[in-house]
Amino acid sequence: MPLQLAEIQLDPPVLLAPLAGITDLPFRRLVGSFGAGLVVSEMVASQEVVQARPLARARAELGFGEAATSVQLAGRDPWWMAEAARYVEGQGARVIDINMGCPAKKVTNGYSGSALMKDLDHALRLIEAVVGAVQVPVTLKTRLGWDDALLNAPELARRAEAAGVRMVTIHGRTRCQFYKGQADWAAIRAVKQAVTVPLIANGDIMDAETAAEALRQSGADGVMIGRGAQGRPWLLAQVAAALYGRPAPQVPQGDALADLVIGHYEAMLEFYGADLGLRIARKHLGWYLEVAGLETARGPIITGDVPAQVSRALRETFRQQEREAA
């Protein structure tokens, strides 16, 4: 069933996770074109958004006002978090997500991200500051805990709901696990039982089968997909079709796949400019080739620095694959 987030309906309850350096505006728009209940921006640092530092400004092309888009903020200071929330709301953000799950050392060393799970009182001050600053729905993304000795996600979620958070997403690992091992979907159930707001399961959801199992084990109201969508922007729509009876997407092949990949490539070049866009596009092109089973074609496509030549190589590669499969 669709999830209701204030006046926003998340339909289907299959969401795109925020991934630093990946879920930029071109990628979110592409995923959204196939269908997603919500797409979440890359994490942006609250103080940098307010002070408009160059990196934050580049990332702050956040799709303000676009349907089914959430802006994710990170920080450690309640004042900056509140100011950033006011800013992005004023720019048209329809949902604000608070990051308390990022495990990266450069984030946790600054007492942001999942480091906040070590001090729930301070975490709540940040949540209260954001909720009190804006009228749009505020959500929270976090992990099971800091480590196996501090599995306090149920308490954090309960207190966050009491402070006004409208939805909680749990990645089924602790911070100290980073992305190692297997996400523990069953452990998410304790968080679901602690709250009445929608609960979203995240971590290692790679297809419809794993999405269904994550829902079964966690009791969650929906799923959030991150790395599984790399090179497969249609994946969320496939999961929604299998789990919720939504129309199945037409997975592109041959020229249609070339059109999609080249369109994404050109969108990145336009968004970032040629020099930075070429570097950022390489990882996405690599994922498309990997998903298509065309890793041997990586050379001229990944290393190419003339966009027209890269586009021609992409089209010929996907055409050749389709001819060989015929």
Name the residues annotated as catalytic: 102
Q: Taking a C-beta distance cutoff of 8 angstroms, is the pair 49, 84 a contact?
A: yes
CB 145 within 8 A of CB 120: no
Task: For residue 118, say whether it is annotated as part of any ligand binding site.
Answer: no
Residue 302 has phi, psi (to 5 degrees) of -75, -35
Q: Give the Cα separation of 123 and 139 in Å (integer).
A: 13
Q: Which residues pair with 202 in a beta bridge?
A: 171, 224
Place of tokens 């802006």: 71
Contact status, residue 86 vs residue 50, Cβ threshold 8 Å: no
Q: Which pair of structure tokens corresponds to residue 169?
A: 């997403």
Structure tokens at 91: 């720019």
Q: Please indicate if the annotation marks 72 as binding a ligand.
A: yes
CB 244 within 8 A of CB 297: no
Name the token pair of 214.
């994550």
Exposure on the CB side of residue 101, measured as CA atoms within 13 A: 30
The answer to the question of whether 286 is labelled as a binding residue is no
Closest CA to 318 of 249, 273, 268, 263: 263
Residue 171 assigned as binding residue: yes
Residue type, position 116, single letter: L
Contact status, residue 43 vs residue 100, Cβ threshold 8 Å: no
Q: What is the Cα–Cα distance from 77 to 278, expressed in whole angstroms?
A: 35
Looking up tokens 């000795």, which residue turns up?
A: 149
| Residue 300 neighbours by CB under 8 Å, 6+ apart | 309, 310, 313
Residue 27's SS3 state is: helix
91 assigned to a ligand binding site? no
Query: Where is the binding site for FMN, in residues?
Result: 72, 141, 171, 226-227
Which segments are annotated as binding site? Answer: 72, 141, 171, 226-227
